[in-house]
Amino acid sequence: AELKKASKRLTCHKRYKIQKKIREHHRKVRKEAKKHGRKKPKKDPGVPSAAPFKEELLREAEQRKQRLEELKQKQKLNRQKEHEKKRKLEAKKNAAKIKEKAEGKESSGKSKAKTNKPLDKNSKKSFCRELKKVIEASDVVLEVLDARDPMGCRCPQLEQAVTCSGGDKKLLLVLNKIDLVPKENLEKWLNYLKKEFPTIAFKSATLMKDRTMEQFTKRRARVDLSRTTECFGSKCLLKLLQDHVRTQNKAIQVGVVGFPNVGKSSIINSLKGVRACNVGLTRGVTKSMQIVHIDKQTKILDSPSLIADPSNNALALALRTILNTEEPASADVLEGVDAILNHCSKQQVMMHYSIPDFRNTEEFLTLLAQKRGMLKKGGVPDVENIAKVLLCDWTGAKISYHSQPPESHRPPPYLTEDITAKMQECFNLKNLEAENKNTVQALKCPSPASSITFQSAGMTNGTIQENKVIEEASEWENLETSMEGEEDEEEDITESDDDQDDVEEEKDIREVTRKAKLGKRQSSPTNSEKQIAESKHSNSLSLSLDKTADEDDAYDFNTDYV
């Protein structure tokens, strides 16, 4: 066994003692320096006046100085020349690179340029492409739902695509974040959802150790590991998948899909037992398909989040769309906060945030910003950033709220009895119910009083096909082109109007000059005529703004004439 290196850490007593000794030593040195006094550097005495060749020596010294200065200047010039050469070479290289890129872009035509655009990982089109890959490649699809609003996390387009795909493709519902919902409400939702698809109650581990991460030291801050790392429902889900493998007699691929921040990657991490996928509070962390091997027979495919359709209501867009935290908060964020507050009971919100009564969302956000200390320069509450934080809290695992399932069960039109029976095949539903009951009993859930009641807005429409995303982009382009066309038309109209005004002004100027000539011929005009002429001149002043120099002279001569 290798010997550990001796620690360099000292006790406080020893460290303070050393510091004291150092201070005393410095004090002693300063005291001695004061006693002896500072020795001034000796001045150069120069050549004595009695020296026989004084003038020659001085000339030689001056010549040496000049030579040194010349050498320094030459060296400086040489350095500058070298720097300029280097800069020119770098500039040429950069220009060549830019030319090569431009030529490459020109050679690859518009069609290639269009195909290269969606390769950006953050684009919606790439998200749809990766999601489609996952759905096509997987034998079992896990649709992850947030237990606080399960109906709002369901996507009818996704369910229809899986159920109507043909073959033996199965769809399972995973009810995640069950620790943020009261037990009674959770049981109601499980009873409601199991009528359509096999549903698993799940609570993913929120703090997973990475393989590369070091173990926690003793001196580190205490973490409530019982609440963070404990996972519920993983055994039940793995059993279901293993049973399906036995019935199929082949290895299966399991795709995990859902809207942003429902906990797709955290479910995979808790099934694997190690942090295999990146997880974060921000929405849209996963940007491409990731394959995670759980055992020899099962592979899990992590997918990017579903994209909510823009036709959805404000609440669905606020909770189910990907937010860009770097960009400044737009009006959509404030609308989303307004929609959330409208779908909750006001008293419970006030109790949760411990905020006094508020009239509107702006007042609520200002009060919350003041309470949390989110202020701009001059003590102005930062409403935009607090709105973003609030939306992140509502999609994350911070706030406990619950929605009630519909009173009467009405399955969607694409879900017939035959399809539900087909989806429930190959699964032991009795064992599943028993396992769900065990997880619910073992879990610590919040009381109904502490959880905020929330009104769900129903299923959220999503875009799965790339074509729909392209159509939206093309619509925007058409709108932009039409707007540009309208602007051009408006400019033409304004130009024509300006031309008409110029023609009218010229006519008025001609009339004024003609009257001026007539005025010259008259020898002594009367006072009334003077007044009329002045009034005409005042009117013509307002009209004639862009006149030539000759017309100005004529007009000025007439006004000066008495």
195 with 288, same domain: the answer is yes
User: Is residue 559 situated within a structural domain?
Assistant: no
Whether the CB-CB separation of 149 and 399 falls below 8 Å is answered with no
- CATH of residue 347's domain is 1.10.1580.10
Number of domain units in the chain: 2
User: Is residue 117 situated within a structural domain?
Assistant: no
pLDDT: is 168 or 238 the higher one?
A: 238
User: Is residue 319 situated within a structural domain?
Assistant: yes
| C-alpha–C-alpha distance, residues 457 and 409, integer Å | 16
Residue 320 burial (C-beta neighbours within 10 Å; 0-12, 13-18, 19+): buried
| C-alpha–C-alpha distance, residues 387 and 7, integer Å | 49
State which H helix or E strand residue 452 sits in. Answer: strand 452-454
Residue 91 identity (one-letter amino acid): A
User: Is residue 89 situated within a structural domain?
Assistant: no
In this predicted structure, what is the pLDDT of residue 14?
95
Query: What distance separates the 2 farthest-apart alpha carbons in the chain?
Result: 127
User: Is residue 548 situated within a structural domain?
Assistant: no
Alpha helices in 214-360 (DSSP H): 225-228, 234-248, 264-272, 314-320, 331-342, 346-353
307-308 vs 462-463, strand pairing mode:
antiparallel
Asked whether residue 67 carries a pLDDT value surpassing 90, the answer given is yes
Evaluate if pTM is beyond 0.85.
Answer: no
Whether the CB-CB separation of 229 and 207 falls below 8 Å is answered with yes
In this predicted structure, what is the pLDDT of residue 506?
53
Asked whether residue 485 carries a pLDDT value surpassing 60, the answer given is no
Closest among 294, 259, 260 to 280, alpha carbons compared: 260
User: Is residue 511 situated within a structural domain?
Assistant: no
The token pair at 119 is 């390769």
| Least confident among 141-155, 156-170, 447-461, 539-553 | 539-553
| pLDDT digit string, tens, across residues 170-226 | 889 999 989 889 989 999 999 998 888 889 998 887 755 444 333 443 344 444 433
Whether the CB-CB separation of 277 and 302 falls below 8 Å is answered with yes
- CATH of residue 282's domain is 3.40.50.300
Total Cβ atoms within 10 A of residue 439: 21
Residue 286 burial (C-beta neighbours within 10 Å; 0-12, 13-18, 19+): buried
The token pair at 258 is 């859902």
DSSP structural state of residue 74: H
In this predicted structure, what is the pLDDT of residue 21?
97
With bands split at pLDDT 50, 70 and 90, how would you rate the model's confidence at 496?
very low
DSSP structural state of residue 60: H
Asked whether residue 230 carries a pLDDT value surpassing 80, the answer given is no
Could you tell me where the beta strands, DSSP code E, fall in 61-205?
A: 140-146, 170-176, 199-201
Give residue 255's domain range: 124-208+226-309+405-451
With bands split at pLDDT 50, 70 and 90, how would you rate the model's confidence at 276?
confident
Asked whether residue 453 carries a pLDDT value surpassing 50, the answer given is yes
State which H helix or E strand residue 453 sits in. Answer: strand 452-454
168 with 289, same domain: the answer is yes
User: Is residue 247 situated within a structural domain?
Assistant: yes
Q: What is the mean pLDDT of residues 262-275?
A: 84
- Name the β-bridge partners of 308: 462
User: Is residue 344 situated within a structural domain?
Assistant: yes
